[in-house]
Amino acid sequence: MARIATAFVPVLAVGVGISASACDAIRELVPPTPTREPGGAGTPEAVASPTVTPRPAVTINPATLPGKLVFVSDANIAVWERGAMRKLTGDRISRQPTWSPDGTRIALVKLDVSSSDLWLMNSDGANARQLTRNESRALNENSWAFRPTWWPDGSRLLYLGERTTNDLMVWEIGLDGRNNKPFLIARDYDGGLDRPGVTPDGKTVVLVSYRAGGGKAQVWSTALPNGPWKQLTEHADGAYDPCLSPDGTRIAYTVRAQSSHDIWVMNVDGSGQQRVTYHGGVRGPCWSPDAQYLAYVAAEANQFDLWVATVPAALPPAPETATPARKAGPGTPVPTVEPTPTAPPVRDVRPVITRQITRQAQIEAVSGVAWTH
């Protein structure tokens, strides 16, 4: 039987606290502005501070949040819409629901004792049908399927499977259950892959990999069909749960820092990383259809509930370092290369607002949340 803990078992304890105060964390993230040294000629000029531009406030009103959210509540799939929650399944074995791009269908996983399978159903829970059949009377022939992910045009699914490997890898399957085959296979016995997501243009997969070593999950991207791979995060205790924004330009993800787990965002190339939440026990971020909000599950009062946060503006990529000019021959004066002036970045000063949406909903953290229009 394949090792599935890295993809299915929660990596955080419910109710953990924040390991450092929010103030200390903010001071670490925002470096002081350099000042001009006193002196005469040759004294370096001060570095320009970012332009602070107030932006219109974004509020969180549960009754007017756009679209619908799907998640697992009390071991069944449920939908939250405009302040009300309704249950779609009653079998207590349905997990990891995700919306089709047009919001008309839900792909999900159903658990068995030694296997799991992919299913499809309508957005209201009707017309459920099984795509894979991984259960076998022979125990060593059972296999697992997890994390269904829609191709951007809704024509097929990616998912995690281990029919031919020890670790979970990325497979693909048609919506009729045919053409079930490997899609992205990494080196086996390295921890496997998790949470695949495809950019809207279908050219890049963002996912979790352990290939950096040290037993720590990190967020990676790989160009299709044959790479290269690029490591996007390098957090000491790991990063996981990546979710692409609707336009594919940003990624929300979870960062582990000792016993604390919180949501961060970054640009799709790994630049502009910034922290969003300070709960200490968070999983499974997802974007609203308009990319104004992030939904996630957070542990409060010893159980997980649904929360929503506003999204900070994207940070610009780090400036490229100028390449020094090649040294000239002996006796030849080397011209001074003046730096190209650049305008200071605009900093969005809106505070991140968070709000709890459900109360005592017993949300299953590993399945996370999915949002559609």
- Transcribe 255-283 into DSSP letters: EEETTEEEEEEEETTS-S-EE----BBEE
Strands 51-53 and 346-348: parallel
Summarize pLDDT for 270-297 with one digit per residue, the tens.
999 999 999 999 999 999 999 999 999 9
- Which pLDDT score is estimated for 337? 39
- Which pLDDT score is estimated for 59? 82
Distance CA 15, CA 71 (A): 20
Question: Are the beta carbons of 211 and 232 closer than 8 angstroms?
Answer: no
Per-residue pLDDT tens, the chain, 373 aa: give them.
Answer: 444 444 333 334 333 333 333 334 333 333 333 333 334 444 444 444 444 445 556 789 998 999 999 999 999 999 999 999 999 999 999 999 999 999 999 999 999 999 999 999 999 999 999 999 999 999 889 999 999 999 999 999 999 999 999 999 999 999 999 999 999 999 999 999 999 999 999 999 999 999 997 889 999 999 999 999 999 999 999 999 999 999 999 999 999 999 999 999 999 999 999 999 999 999 999 999 999 999 999 998 789 999 999 999 999 876 655 444 444 455 544 443 344 444 444 444 468 999 999 999 999 999 999 999 9
Choose among 304, 287, 312, 285: nearest CA to 356. Answer: 304
- Which pLDDT score is estimated for 9? 39
* 279 to 25, 26, 48, 260, 314: CA distances (angstroms): 12, 14, 33, 8, 21
Distance CA 64, CA 62 (A): 6
- Which pLDDT score is estimated for 299? 94
Task: Give me the residue spans of the domains in the chain.
Answer: 5-27+63-315+343-372
Strands 204-209 and 218-223: antiparallel
Question: Are the beta carbons of 282 and 254 closer than 8 angstroms?
Answer: yes
Distance CA 138, CA 372 (A): 39
CA distance from start to end of the chain: 39
DSSP tag of 22:
H
Q: What is this structure's pTM?
A: 0.80
- Which pLDDT score is estimated for 321? 52
CATH value of 5-27+63-315+343-372 in 3.20.20.70, 2.120.10.30, 2.40.50.140, 3.30.930.10: 2.120.10.30
Summarize pLDDT for 91-121 with one digit per residue, the tens.
999 999 999 999 999 999 999 999 999 999 9
